[in-house]
Structure formats: C-alpha cells, structure tokens
Amino acid sequence: MTVSRVINNTGNIREETRERVLDAIEKLNYHPNSMARGLNNNRIHSIGVATSLSSSHILVASSPFFHGLLNGIESSLMKHQSDLVISTRRGHKGTSDYFRLFYERKVDGIILISTYLDSSDVEEMLANNIPCVVIGTRTDSDRIVCIDSDNFQAGKEITERLIEKGHRKIGFIRVSEQNSNVEERYRGFGEAMKAHGLEPGEEHVFSVRMEEEEEAGRRVMKAVAAMADPPTAVIASNDFLAIGMIREAQRLGIPIPGELSVVGFDAMETGRVIQPSLYSMRQPLGEMGFLAAETLMRLIEDPHDAGSSRIFPMEPVPGDSMAPPK
Amino acid sequence: MTVSRVINNTGNIREETRERVLDAIEKLNYHPNSMARGLNNNRIHSIGVATSLSSSHILVASSPFFHGLLNGIESSLMKHQSDLVISTRRGHKGTSDYFRLFYERKVDGIILISTYLDSSDVEEMLANNIPCVVIGTRTDSDRIVCIDSDNFQAGKEITERLIEKGHRKIGFIRVSEQNSNVEERYRGFGEAMKAHGLEPGEEHVFSVRMEEEEEAGRRVMKAVAAMADPPTAVIASNDFLAIGMIREAQRLGIPIPGELSVVGFDAMETGRVIQPSLYSMRQPLGEMGFLAAETLMRLIEDPHDAGSSRIFPMEPVPGDSMAPPK
DNA sequence: CATCAAAATGTTAACGCAAACATTTTGATC
DNA sequence: GATCAAAATGTTTGCGTTAACATTTTGATG
C-alpha cells in the first residue's frame, strides 16, 4: 500500500520512506502492472481506434485520411497520458468486430473512423454505453458525437471555382460504395450546378469502385478521351482518382489543364508533387482528430457531459490542374 | 467456471449447458475482460511496437518506413490472433520510455523499429527478459534477433548503376543523425567508388539534418547548381531528399536527368508520381515486418527458441531520374 | 438397483493493485 | 510525560479470470 501511495503520489508519505521505496523500485526493476490497475479501478487509460474504412488492412488502407486523423488523436492522448490500442484482428468483417476487441480490452472509450455508419452500428454504440466519438460521418442521433468536415460545402465550392473559370460541362467521379463523404461531395456538386442553371451530363458522371484507386482514375481518363462530347473538367471524389487521371493523361499525351481540368479532394502529398500539381480540397484532419480525442476524454471524465458535434470547413489547396476551358 | 469453459472451449460441457451459457452471454452482452485474463495467465495476446525513429510523432513521422513495416506486422498478428499496442506517451524522450509503457501493459513481446541502437538499449532489452525483435538495424549481440535490409549492398549497387552509366563525379547526401541505414548506404557508396578507382569529391558529400526532409534536398540542389565543378549524379540517402532535389531543380530550370542524375532510397509513392520518376532502392518492408512478427511469436511461444536474424536484399526500382552524364 | 468410471459442474485461490477502513507513530501541547 | 490530532503505515477486500482441485451427476455394467 505504501508503494502504491508513492507511485500514485497520494496520501502522506514520509520523505525517507518515499526514497526507500523508489530505491527498491529501481533495484527490482519494478513496473506497475497496468492490467491489475485497470481491473481494480476500471480505468485503463487507453482508447481504441476503430475504422470501417473499406479495405483489408486497417492502418495501411486508409492512408492519408487515417494517418492525418491519427496524428491529431495522438497529440491529444499525449496530453492526457493515455495510450492507443489499435485493433488488428480476427476476421474483422465489419465495424462491430473491432468493437468487440475494445470491449474485451475494456478501453476507456472508442473513436470510430468511418465514412459510413449504419443504424445497427449506432444502436450498438448506444447499447454498449461506452464513450464514443465518430469521425468522418454524421448520424441523426444527438446522443452520438460526430466530428466531420463539410463535404457538401467542399463539393459545392470546388464546383463553383470551376464554373467561375468558365466551365459548363463538368464531370464527377463517384464511388459505388456507401460513403457519406463522397455522397456529400456529389450533392454539393449537384447543388452548385443547379444554382448556376447547369445540369451534369449523364455520361459525365462516372461511378467506380473505391478500392481500385488510381487504376479507376486511369480508366475514367481513357473514357473521357474517347468521348465525342467530353467534359472540360472532371471532379474526382478523391485524390487517388484524380492522380490516376493525370498520370493517364500524361501517358495519352492529353494536356492538363489545357484540354481538361482535373480536381480532387483530400490534398494528398502526391498531389503536391505531380505535374501539374493537383487542385484539391483539404480536410483539417489533424484538428479533427485532436478535437475528437479531446471530446472523448471529456466524455470519459464526465459521464454527464453530452459532448458536441462539430463540422469543419474544408479548404481549397490550389494547384495547376485547373484552368479555364479552351 | 462453466462459462469460462464454454468460452475457451476447454473441458467437457453438456451441449444443453453450452447453449444456455451462450444465450446468457448474448442476452447480457457479456464480454470477457481481457485484463483479468491477462492478470491471471500472464498472456495478454498483444505485442508492442516501439520506434525510436527520430521525430516527435510515432506514427506520422516515420511514414513510409514505419507504415510498410506495420503492414507486414499486422498480417502476422492477424494470423496469430494478437493485437497491437502502439504507444503514444509521456514525454517519450527515447526508446526506453516506450519500453516502459510496454512493461506496464505487460505485452507479450516487443518489436523495436529503430535505425540506431545504442548499447544501453540492448542491455535494457536483455535485462528485462522480454521477447524482442529489432527491425532496421543490427547489433553484435547474438541474443537479439534483428531483421534488417542490406543497406550496404543497396548503396553499393545504386552507385554501380551510376558508374555503369558513365558517371565519375558522384555526390552523396548523408544525414547528421546516427542512422545505421544511412551509414551503411554511404559505406556501400564508398566501397563501389573505390572498387572502380574513384574517390568522391569532398565537396560532393553533403550532410543534412534528417528532419528537414524535402527542404534539405532543395538546399543541396541549390548548392550543386552553384558549384563550379558539380557532380553529374547525386545519391540522396532517402527519397525525401531526392524529391526535394528534383522539385528544386524543376524550379531552377535544371533538367533532370539531363544535367544531373538523382537517385534515392526507399521507393516512396511520391517518387513514382514525380516527373521524372525517381530511381530508387526498395526495402521489402512488408516482408520484413511480417517476418519480425512471426519470429517474435515464435520467441513468445517457446522461450528456448533463439530465433534467427535475417538481412533482406534491397531491390532497384527503376525511374527516369538516372541517365548517362552529358 | 448398486457400483463405478467418466462426464459435468462447482469451489477455492491467486494474479497485482488500490479503495476503504484500521492501526501505529509522530511530535506539538499542556 | 500524559494527551491527542495529524501523519504515516498497515490490513482486508474485491476487481474478473482460470488453474487446480473437489464434488456431483450421468449412464453403462454386472
């Protein structure tokens, strides 16, 4: 007990005793057992991060998005002296399988990174009664805190930039998976077009499978190149696709932005390096991750705190891949 | 106890009882507490990954390197039904601070990712008697398993490619931090030069701080551009530096590889996208991570297993940034 | 239907810690 | 040096699990 008091700096300890204890700890190379601690006082000082972003490998798949968020999450955890348990496990078919890991590990709270949330996920989160913050999508339930960026506004804004430049025939690449980010971006696109009395040509709206990433972009580029009446600009719903398009255009000898403007979302590093550099919209991922973790910490500390959702605006990241149409 | 038996599928259980237990588990939304489990049987089924790669943020800093390894580590863990605890914590001045976290969490084993290992780290690892595998560097101790790639061979090989192309004046960018990868690459460079009767010009060997990454590459490019007797090729000790050089060369209007060949190491994604694409050497990171985790699992299962170190060869990743000198 | 081994289930204890409560020590005061 | 509150230290207990051991139930056999 005295050792416990020394370690946790609680209660009254005579200075000499403290030193003796610390000496012994040093000598014995003692480390407190955080499992026993957690078992005892129900606080393990770690949180779980789950993602249902499509694709098999949790850390790798989701690269730019996941990475930026994790950076922000980390900063917050460091502040709160908590750790991160990242799951990797057991078939992991979907979200709830990740959750199971966290229930077993008894993490203090969960951050769910997901661009799509179905109602069973929501129910499960509520039922399990564990503090939880969602990043990357929104729900109707006011009992779940969501941190997201304003994909609708971003889609609208980037479309408006193109229209300002004089584009009328603007294409859009959607993805076939359920993905609220992409859906919102597309909705913003439609809204901006309508506001300017434009309508997207049916054959100018593409739908691809998200996992194909760059390859899908290349395919769209080929399709555009073969069109009798091609769009003068294409909005790719993410930078992978946009980069695929640009690289394929290079291969085909189609000048970008001369012949076609291409823009994307998420401001990936490769978009900065490619020629022409990619015009994109950035989500403030670091801030989002940080806020999510801070909020989660508050929920953990105080079960009565309801937390509050927050939508971050996205910012344009200028690049040379956008120009007026010929 | 019966519940325990059902969950762990041990002992004899009547079918009807098993069903009743499973029903109750379902109904009560029960999840076994892995802390209590770990406390009891000293196996928590998770491993720690520590990195002393320079820079503040563990996950972000080390991007391409760390990322690739983690991918491989993950595949193995999935196979073995173990989890990953990634630390984020407490000032984390150096390696041993990360270790402390793992001692407290009582992980089953540790993978240390580090390009530099000092003897106190080694001593600590041995003293604490916890299964441990090191990736990214080597030690003399045969009691520590090391998984590394052959940076010496890679440095030698890429230098030889340049010499084959006709280069005689070849520069090299080193980093000032202690980093066995870079040191080995440089040693390979020196060896290849010597083998061909060449000697690197003193002013053609640069030393930069690793954290500066791209910016440092840009600075080197400026320096090269201002030289009376510039090298005809520069080997950057990593792709960040090489990409900085290429981008600065673009800005300065210096044709690459026409005026100067630039090559790097690690085959980052941005190197594939940049124009000209970057000639680089790839470490088989996924394989390395996978093997490290597999080995660690063996060490954990069987304390008598000594494991065995392994050095992977690095492979050239061709790119357009290398050409014969003018 | 008594017997008995196998099958099924139950009980106890220990893992390491810290909350709650209990006891001892200290040293200031009269 | 007796008194007493504060300071310091000690004891017991329970957190949830499972190994080890104990007991009860089952059903096949003579």
* Alpha-carbon distance values, A225 to A205, A219, A234, A243, A279 (Å): 14, 10, 12, 16, 20
Six token digits for residue B35:
């802390």
Q: Report yes or no: A42 at the B interface, CB cutoff 8 Å.
A: no
Q: What percent of chain B has pLDDT over 90?
A: 62
Residues in B closer than 8 angstroms to A29, CB to CB, are: 127-128
Pick from B16, B80, B3, B97: nearest CA to B46: B80
Evaluate whether B305 touches A306 at the Cβ level (below 8 Å).
no
pLDDT tens track for A34-64: 899 999 988 888 888 887 654 434 444 446 6
- Whole-angstrom distance, CA of residue B199 vs CA of residue B185: 16
Strand partners, B112: B50, B134
- CB-proximal positions of chain D, under 7 Å: 7-12, 14-20
Tell me what pLDDT residue B119 has: 78
More confident residue, A211 or B243: B243
CB pair distance less than 8 Å for A84 and B85: yes
Tell me what pLDDT residue A70 has: 82
Q: What percent of chain A has pLDDT over 70?
A: 92
Task: Average the pLDDT over A319-324 and give the result.
Answer: 97
Tell me what pLDDT residue A57 has: 42
Q: How far is A67 from chain B (nearest CA, A)?
A: 7
DSSP, collapsed to helix, strand or coil, labels residue B88 as coil
pLDDT tens track for A94-105: 555 667 778 888
Proximity of residue A2 CB to strand D below 7 A = yes
In three state form, how does the secondary structure of chain A look?
CHHHHHHHCCCCCCHHHHHHHHHHHHHHCCCCCHHHHHHHHCCCCEEEEEECCCCCCHHHHCHHHHHHHHHHHHHHHHHHCCEEEECCCCCCCCHHHHHHHHHHHCCCEEEEECCCCCHHHHHHHHHHCCCEEEECCCCCCCCCEEEEECHHHHHHHHHHHHHHCCCCCEEEEEECCCCHHHHHHHHHHHHHHHHCCCCCCHHHEEEECHHHCHHHHHHHHHHHHCCCCCCCEEEECCHHHHHHHHHHHHHHCCCCCCCCEEEEECCCHHHHHCCCCCEEEECCHHHHHHHHHHHHHHHHHCCCCCCCCEEECCEEECCCCCCCCC
Region of residue A101 (left: phi > 0; alpha: psi -120 to 50; beta: else): alpha
Tell me what pLDDT residue A91 has: 43
pLDDT band at B92 (very low <50, low <70, confident <90, very high): very low
- Whole-angstrom distance, CA of residue B67 vs CA of residue B62: 7
Q: Report yes or no: A63 at the B interface, CB cutoff 8 Å.
A: yes
pLDDT band at A213 (very low <50, low <70, confident <90, very high): confident
Proximity of residue A5 CB to strand D below 7 A = yes
Evaluate whether A269 touches A64 at the Cβ level (below 8 Å).
yes
Residues in B closer than 8 angstroms to A106, CB to CB, are: 33-35
Task: Average the pLDDT over A22-39 and give the result.
Answer: 92
Tell me what pLDDT residue B87 has: 61
Task: Average the pLDDT over A238-267 and give the result.
Answer: 96
For residue B78, give the nearest of A44, A89, A269 by CB distance.
A89
Whole-model pTM: value is 0.87
pLDDT band at A72 (very low <50, low <70, confident <90, very high): confident
Q: How far is A323 from chain B (nearest CA, A)?
A: 21
CB pair distance less than 8 Å for A78 and B58: no
pLDDT at residue A93 above 80? no
Tell me what pLDDT residue A61 has: 41
pLDDT tens track for B169-225: 999 999 998 889 999 999 999 999 999 999 999 999 999 998 888 999 999 999 999
> Closest residue of B to A33, CA-based?
B104
More confident residue, A209 or B85: A209
Task: Average the pLDDT over A91-115 and give the result.
Answer: 75
Least confident range of A126-140, A223-237, B11-25:
A126-140
Rg over CA atoms, chain A: 24
pLDDT at residue A282 above 90? yes
For residue B106, give the nearest of A35, A57, A59 by CB distance.
A35
Pick from B68, B42, B310: nearest CA to A63: B68
Tell whether the torsion through CA atoms of B267, B268, B273 and B274 is positive or negative: negative
pLDDT tens track for B8-66: 999 899 999 999 999 999 999 899 999 999 999 888 888 888 776 544 344 444 466 77
- CB-proximal positions of chain C, under 7 Å: 7-12, 14-20
Proximity of residue B169 CB to strand D below 7 A = no
Question: What order of strands is seen across the sheet that includes strand B205-208?
Answer: B205-208, B170-175, B233-236, B261-265, B279-282, B315-317
Cα maximum dimension of chain B: 88
Tell me what pLDDT residue B210 has: 83
Instruction: Report chain A's mean pLDDT, rounded to a whole number.
Output: 88
Residue B127 exposure: Cα atoms within 13 Å on the Cβ side: 15
pLDDT at residue A88 above 80? no
Task: Average the pLDDT over B113-123 and give the result.
Answer: 80
